[in-house]
Amino acid sequence: MKNDFALLSQFLDTLGPEVAGHSSSEPLTDEQTQQISEFASGKLTDQQREALLPSLLENENAIQALVDAIRAQS
């Protein structure tokens, strides 16, 4: 899981200061919300995490859902 956040950080660094300009605020499906919850709890396989990361990075709602899922585990 630690490598996932390093990967996410590296990706965001490559985008530069216009990260917000690249995102959307599409509503999430129930399946996406479930995947985000499983990602936050470490239940996804490496392949599932890699498939999910692009959609997380492109959608402000997905990022917020990830933050909420992580906070809910605390």
Residue 23 backbone phi and psi in degrees, to 5: -95, 165
Which position has the token pair 């990260």? 19
pLDDT of residue 35: 93
Cβ(58)–Cβ(25) below 8 Å? no
pLDDT of residue 15: 61
Residue 20 backbone phi and psi in degrees, to 5: -60, -30
Going by pLDDT thresholds of 50, 70 and 90, the confidence category of residue 34 is: very high
What are the CA-CA distances from residue 21 to residues 15, 24, 48, 50, 71 (Å)? 10, 8, 26, 23, 26
Indicate if the pLDDT at residue 57 is higher than 50.
Answer: yes
Residues 46, 56: Cα–Cα separation, whole Å? 15
pLDDT tens-digit readout, 2-27: 566 676 666 666 665 554 455 578 89
Report field, pTM of the whole predicted structure over 0.75:
no
Q: Which residue has the higher pLDDT, 45 or 19?
A: 45
